[in-house]
Amino acid sequence: LLVDKGNHRHFMAKEIYEQPEVLSHTLAHYIDMASGTIRLPEAVPADLAALKRVTVSACGTAYLAGLVGKYWMEKYARLPVDIDVASEFRYREVPLDPGGLALFISQSGETADTLASLRYCAQNGQRILSIVNVQESSIARESDVVFPTLGGPEIGVASTKAFTCQLAVLACLAIAAGRQRGVLGEDDERKLVRSLIEVPRLVGQALKLEPQIEDLARDLSRARDVLYLGRGLNYPIALEGALKLKEISYIHAEGYAAGELKHGPIALVDENVPVIVVAPSDRLFDKTVSNMQEVAARGGRIILLTDAAGAEAAGDQPFATLVLPEMYQFVQPLLYAIPVQLIAYHTAVFMGTDVDQPRNLAKSVTVE
Ligand code: G6P
């Protein structure tokens, strides 16, 4: 299979721009477009209605997709989720009830720790569901059921389109679980599905923030440390933003739950530390505004990712504001992932690093 960069400078840029298309493909695999309801390609290998909990493990960016999945499944399906990075999970000697469901998320399907966690779960009586991008992989082969992400080959070491496709599949799974568990009614399902169908178009709109992000990247490239803050569904996106930035620009970055700011990272804040706040306007927005006030009072430069209402409520506190379209809360992580990817990409380009092949990192980590 020959994959080229097309008109893009890097595979990562190409893969970021492919997202509207690959998200459409992936969603079409899990949604019956005619009725606007979820239609899973195969049955989940456990009774979702009776399930007590789901165990999720994965590594890196795939783990952060799983973390969004946890928020979704707990909120929209009242299904408790235990999640851990696979390198911890495999050695934790986790007690598992027989007949439980274990979920693995992996772009490559070959990550050694994720595969070892899968084998531990299989040996301990779990049914295995995995979300993978490479269908011929070891993780796919050893699973009871595979839910594919239809992202196509991902070449850039830092995962982008695979991540949002993983989110799309997890969102569909959460809706299906919510329906089967009687938490969501038919109308709820249609409303959530409708919001998912809008995602590819909204991603296209979010990509238009690129020129503004390019300007910000110049400023970010001078920072030694960058903080990312988010709450709820957007907390994993803050973690993903920090991960992406450190992976490809080598700038030290940390993602934090916004409410944890005062329990540590606030000590780092001064006029040299940009603070990227991922905060669509929602019922917790006021709390995030007060977190921003604490940052601003210490001279920290806030870059706010929000919507029009959030931009207005934040007033002139932020140093810069990136305004995304209004959208249903359910789909926010899929959309807020886009500026976060572009911020890392353009900062790395500005610094002249090897964006597609960052030092010391591998696309697929098949050793411990
Ligand atoms: C490596 C890659 C990441 C990826 C992680 C998990 O660290 O650089 O981009 O998220 O492995 O890989 P997987 O193939 O299991 O998703």
| CA distance linking residue 24 with residue 199, whole number of Å | 8
pLDDT class for 331, splitting at 50, 70, 90? very high
pLDDT class for 236, splitting at 50, 70, 90? very high
The separation between CA 243 and the C-alpha centre of its own chain, rounded to angstroms, equals 11
Residue 158 Cβ contacting ligand 1 at under 6 Å: yes
What is the phi/psi pair of residue 282, to 5°?
-150, -170
Please state the length of the chain.
368
pTM above 0.95, yes or no: yes
Residue 366 Cβ contacting ligand 1 at under 6 Å: no
* Atom of ligand 1 lying closest to residue 139 CA: 15
> Which pLDDT score is estimated for 368?
83
Q: Among candidates 19, 11, 31, which has minimal Cα distance to 196?
A: 31
Distance 147 CA to ligand 1 centre (A): 18
363 is catalytic: yes
* Atom of ligand 1 lying closest to residue 59 CA: 6
Q: What tokens were used for 17?
A: 């721009």
pLDDT, averaged across the chain: 95
Distance 231 CA to ligand 1 centre (A): 24
**288-307 tens-digit pLDDT:** 888 898 999 999 999 999 99
**27-46 tens-digit pLDDT:** 999 999 999 999 999 999 99
Q: Among candidates 240, 206, 151, 150, which has minimal Cα distance to 331?
A: 206
Which are the contacts of 75, defined by CB distance < 8 A and separation ≥ 6? none
> Which pLDDT score is estimated for 276?
97
Residue 202 Cβ contacting ligand 1 at under 6 Å: no
| CA distance linking residue 131 with residue 145, whole number of Å | 9
Residue 361 Cβ contacting ligand 1 at under 6 Å: yes
**pLDDT average, residue stretch 110-135:** 98
Query: Of 359, 364, 366, 367, which is best to mutate to test ligand 1, by the most ligand atoms within 8 angstroms of its C-beta?
Result: 364
